[in-house]
Amino acid sequence: MTETLFLSDDDVAGLADPAAYVDAVRDAYRQRGEGAPAKPRTKLLNEDPPGMFTAYAAVLPETGAMGGYMYSAGFSEADGWFVTPLFDAETGEPIAIIDGARMNPFKTGAAGAVGVDALAREDATTLAVIGSGAQARGQLRATATVRDFDTVRVYSRTPAHRASFADQMDEYVDADVTAVPSSTDAVAGADVVITATNASEPVFDGDDLDDGTHVTAMGQYAPGKRELDASTVERAVYVPDLRERATQDAGSFLHALEAGAITEDHVHAELGAVVAETAPGRESPEDVTVFDSGGTGIETAAAAHMLYERASEQGLGQTIDFAPASEALTGE
């Protein structure tokens, strides 16, 4: 038997601030850039009741951990459930099972922040956020740890939602957070643009982007859906989280490909390669850069291990016993 730590939602709450997530995720992407294994998500769709079951994983050899998400969304409860198994990368033993919903906006936001840190101009001061939900909040809080923004403009389709977002986020970031009436108003003159929506069509006109803008798109990861238009993808130094995912479920990339605006060679490099400095990122202040973030086991395993270590230090969680296959299969 081996003891495995179970961390509940209450255990996870308050264990780490956005900067801690960013540090863990940045190092994980460096490991990916140096060869750590990771694969895109597997997504299974159910028709009746309608729902989605998804899994993805990564191995982080230097961290000493491997794991990822298994989660369901929809089905008869019309809700989501995030289970995060974490294993020791040397022994293979399960070391933790984490209720992973609470960490989701923070680990995903951390991936976006690592993309901003690797690709945006150092002097970026104006941020546009399109979207006002939990993921948009996570993206803003994490990204504010890697650049000194003085202005944040937020747009979402519901005026009350964008106003509430601006009021709440003003308490978390030093920048002046303002709700604006259109995506054009948000994007105009922005140094960094974050899209965190459930939109199926582009949420801004790529021609509105100034030269030198960085875009992090994280809200859609399905072939038929996209947040970015073909113009944005075509003019950008395009960096996905995983190269393989670009032609699997990166809707914006696939649409630009189908429109003939780009070829598959338009993928510049994976984010991990840029972080590990095995591939260049931005090469000119005038470059438009895009980080297409669809969610991977890289940030998930990194965040889970960071939480596991902190919980262990604080004596949080409950232990459960797992039987190794050598015992369970033989009944000994």
Q: What is the CATH number of the domain that holds 283?
A: 3.40.50.720
Q: What integer best gives the mean pLDDT of the chain?
A: 96
**146 to each of 22, 104, 116, 268, how far by Cα in Å?**
9, 19, 8, 22
Strand 94-99 to strand 2-7: parallel, antiparallel, or no bridges (unpaired)? parallel
Read off the pLDDT of residues 224-267 as tens digits, 9 standing for 90 and up: 889 999 999 999 999 999 999 999 999 999 999 999 999 999 99
Within the chain, strands assigned E span: 2-7, 42-46, 51-60, 65-74, 79-88, 94-99, 126-130, 151-155, 176-179, 192-195, 214-217, 236-240, 288-292, 318-322
Q: In this structure, are 174 and 251 located in the same domain?
A: yes
Alpha-carbon span 135 to 148, nearest angstrom: 20
Whole-number pLDDT of residue 1: 85
Determine the residue type at 260: G
Residue 35 lies in a domain: yes
Residue 263 lies in a domain: yes
Whole-number pLDDT of residue 332: 59
Q: Select from 12, 150, 191, 169 the least CA-distant residue to 86.
A: 12
Instruction: State the total domains in the chain.
Output: 2
Range(s) of the domain holding residue 252: 117-292
Checking if the pLDDT of 176 tops 80, the result is yes
Q: In this structure, are 238 and 311 located in the same domain?
A: no
Report residue 88's pLDDT band, with 50, 70 and 90 as the boundaries: very high
Q: In this structure, are 97 and 140 located in the same domain?
A: no
pTM of the model: 0.96
Checking if the pLDDT of 303 tops 90, the result is yes
Q: In this structure, are 303 and 287 located in the same domain?
A: no
Report residue 328's pLDDT band, with 50, 70 and 90 as the boundaries: confident
Residue 198 lies in a domain: yes
Residue 109 lies in a domain: no
Q: In this structure, are 206 and 219 located in the same domain?
A: yes
**How many angstroms separate the first and last alpha carbons of the chain?**
11
Report residue 133's pLDDT band, with 50, 70 and 90 as the boundaries: very high
**123 to each of 87, 92, 146, 148, 239, how far by Cα in Å?**
40, 44, 11, 8, 20
The label of the residue with tokens 């519901």 reads: 158
Q: In this structure, are 227 and 270 located in the same domain?
A: yes
Q: In this structure, are 161 and 261 located in the same domain?
A: yes
Whole-number pLDDT of residue 224: 86
The label of the residue with tokens 């990916």 reads: 32
Residue 320 lies in a domain: yes
DSSP string, 37-106: -B---EEEEETTTTEEEEEEEEEETTTTEEEEEEEEEETTTTEEEEEEEEEETTT--EEEEEE-TTTHHH
Q: In this structure, are 121 and 213 located in the same domain?
A: yes
